[in-house]
C-alpha cells in the first residue's frame, strides 16, 4: 500500500511538472503564431532595425523600443547589483543573526509591493527631482532605471543572502586561520563560493526589470524615439504592448504580438548567456 501511494505521488508530481511545461509551450506557440506573420510580411530587418512606429501608416519598426528596454534594464542593473550585493554581504556577514532574521523578511516584503505604487512614488518624487536638478522632462530613461533598480533589490538581496549563508563555515574559519582579514575572506573566499547563487539572483532581477510594465509606463515618458541620453523619455517593448493592445486590430495587433516575440527571444538570449556564465564560473 505504501509503495502504491509513493508511486501515485510521484506520478502526480510528474503530471504537475509536465502541465507547467505544457502551459509555457502553449503560451510561446500562441505568441509566435500570432506574431510571426507580421514579421515575415514586414521583413525582419525592417521590423528590428527601423525606429519608425506608426501603425496607421503601416510602419512597424521597434528599434527604439528595443533600445529603450535594454537601456532601462541595464541602468536598473547598474544601480541594483552593487546596492543589492552590498546589502546582502552586510546582512550575511556583519549583522547578528537575530537582527538578520528580522530584516530579511522585511526586505522580502518589498517584493510584494504593487509596481503601480513604485510608479506613483516615482512620478510624484523622483521625476520632479530629475526635472529640477538635471533638466529634461523628468520622465526619462534615468527615472525608469532608478525605479526598476529599487524594485529588483529585494530579489537580489534575498537570494544573495541565501547563497552567502550556504557557504560552509569551515571556508571562513580556514581563511581566517591562514591570516586573512575578514574582508579578504569575504572577497576571496565567500563571494567566490557563492557566485553561482549571486548570479542567479541577478538573472531573476534582470527578468523582473525587463518584464516590468506599469511602473515604467508611469515614469519613462513612453516617447517612440531613440533616446539620445539618460534624460530623454523612451518606450520599452512591454509598455508598447500594454499601451496599444486595448485598441489594436488587424496588422497593428499582429505587430504587438510580434513585439512580444522579440521580447521573448531577448529574454531567452539573456538567460542563456547568464546560465553560460554560471556554468563557466563553477
**How do residues 11-57 score in pLDDT, each as one tens digit?**
888 888 888 889 888 988 999 999 999 988 888 888 998 889 988 88
Q: Taking the mean position of all CA atoms in its chain, how far away is CA 80?
A: 10
> Please, are residues 59 and 131 in contact by the beta-carbon 8 Å criterion?
no
Q: Class assignment of domain 64-248?
A: mainly alpha
Task: Determine the Cα–Cα distance for residues 178 and 61; give it in Å rounded to an integer.
Answer: 60
Question: Among 47, 74, 78, 96, which residue's Cα sits nearest to residue 259?
Answer: 47
pLDDT of residue 282: 58
Mean pLDDT over each residue of the chain, to the nearest integer: 88
pLDDT of residue 64: 92
**How do residues 224-242 score in pLDDT, each as one tens digit?**
889 999 999 999 999 999 9
**How do residues 38-50 score in pLDDT, each as one tens digit?**
988 888 888 998 8
pLDDT of residue 8: 81
Amino acid at each position: 500500500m505504501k509503495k502504491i501511494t509513493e508511486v501515485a505521488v510521484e506520478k502526480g508530481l510528474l503530471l504537475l511538472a509536465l502541465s507547467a511545461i505544457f502551459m509555457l509551450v502553449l503560451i510561446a506557440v500562441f505568441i509566435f503564431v500570432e506574431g510571426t506573420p507580421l514579421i515575415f510580411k514586414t521583413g525582419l530587418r525592417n521590423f528590428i532595425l527601423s525606429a519608425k512606429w506608426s501603425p496607421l501608416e503601416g510602419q512597424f519598426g521597434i528599434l527604439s523600443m528595443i533600445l529603450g528596454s535594454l537601456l532601462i534594464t541595464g541602468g536598473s542593473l547598474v544601480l541594483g547589483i552593487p546596492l543589492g550585493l552590498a546589502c546582502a554581504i552586510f546582512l550575511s556577514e556583519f549583522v547578528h543573526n537575530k537582527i538578520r532574521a528580522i530584516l530579511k523578511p522585511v526586505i522580502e516584503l518589498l517584493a510584494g509591493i504593487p509596481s503601480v505604487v513604485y510608479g506613483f512614488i516615482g512620478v510624484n518624487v523622483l521625476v520632479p527631482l530629475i526635472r529640477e536638478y538635471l533638466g529634461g522632462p523628468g520622465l526619462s530613461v534615468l527615472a525608469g532605471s532608478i525605479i526598476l533598480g529599487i524594485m529588483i533589490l529585494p530579489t537580489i538581496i534575498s537570494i544573495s543572502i541565501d547563497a552567502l549563508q550556504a557557504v560552509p563555515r569551515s571556508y571562513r574559519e580556514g581563511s581566517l586561520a591562514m591570516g586573512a582579514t575578514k574582508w579578504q575572506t569575504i572577497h576571496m573566499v565567500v563571494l567566490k563560493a557563492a557566485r553561482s547563487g549571486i548570479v542567479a539572483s541577478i538573472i531573476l532581477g534582470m527578468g523582473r526589470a525587463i518584464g516590468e510594465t506599469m511602473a515604467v509606463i508611469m515614469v519613462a515618458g513612453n516617447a517612440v524615439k531613440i533616446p539620445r541620453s539618460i534624460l530623454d523619455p523612451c518606450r520599452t517593448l512591454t509598455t508598447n504592448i500594454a499601451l496599444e493592445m486595448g485598441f489594436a486590430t488587424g496588422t497593428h495587433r499582429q505587430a504587438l504580438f510580434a513585439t512580444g516575440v522579440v521580447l521573448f527571444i531577448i529574454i531567452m538570449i539573456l538567460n542563456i548567456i547568464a546560465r553560460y556564465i554560471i556554468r563557466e564560473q563553477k
